[in-house]
């Protein structure tokens, strides 16, 4: 029983340390859990990237049309058109605004869940330690009672 409560204390401390360092050191662990949860729920990163690339294609086509309009406007002018404004850009609308916040939210939920599990394990270890100590005390008292003479 002593080994059990010591093991529970160790696991609770390890989980609590993991939760506390979950924003920096152990973030890949929680990120892996949340990505797998999102994949299981049907929210796939590849699908979000595909949607984002389609949106980028549409925006690029609009920019090409705007560039042509600018060229037509400046046909009789000697002004140079800044074509860098009309380059293809990667906006990642869905990944930045939907996927990443959901991922971060799941990481927070996992950290909260692991925190409560560590508290439950810690309290279980305290209960097992109290049970062990009370049994040990009872055993020692019984041993002392047998050693004392019965006439006293």
Is the separation of the CB atoms in 16 and 132 below 8 Å? no
Q: Return the pLDDT at 92.
A: 85
Answer whether 0.85 is exceeded by the pTM: no
pLDDT in tens, the chain (152 residues): 889 999 999 999 999 999 998 888 888 889 999 999 999 999 899 999 999 999 999 999 999 998 888 888 887 777 777 777 888 888 888 899 999 999 999 999 999 999 999 999 999 999 999 999 999 999 999 998 888 877 66
3-state SS record for 2-42 = HHHHHHHHHHHHHHHHHHHCCCCCCHHHHHHHHHHHHHHHC
Q: What's the residue count for the chain?
A: 152
Burial 133-145 (b: 16+ CB within 10 A, else e): eeeeeeeeeeeee
């Amino acid at each position: 029983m002593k080994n059990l409560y010591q093991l529970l204390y160790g696991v609770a401390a390890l989980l609590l340390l993991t939760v506390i360092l979950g924003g920096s050191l152990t973030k890949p662990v929680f990120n892996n859990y949340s990505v797998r949860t999102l994949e299981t729920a049907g929210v796939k990163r590849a699908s979000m990237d595909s949607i984002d690339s389609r949106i980028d294609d549409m925006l690029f086509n609009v920019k090409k049309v705007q560039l042509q309009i600018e060229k037509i406007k400046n046909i009789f002018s000697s002004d140079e058109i800044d074509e860098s404004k009309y380059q293809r850009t990667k906006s990642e609308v869905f990944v930045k605004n939907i996927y990443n916040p959901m991922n971060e939210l799941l990481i927070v939920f996992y950290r909260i869940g692991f925190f409560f599990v560590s508290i439950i394990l810690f309290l279980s270890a305290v209960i097992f330690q109290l049970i062990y100590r009370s049994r040990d005390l009872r055993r020692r008292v019984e041993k002392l009672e047998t050693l004392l003479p019965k006439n006293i």
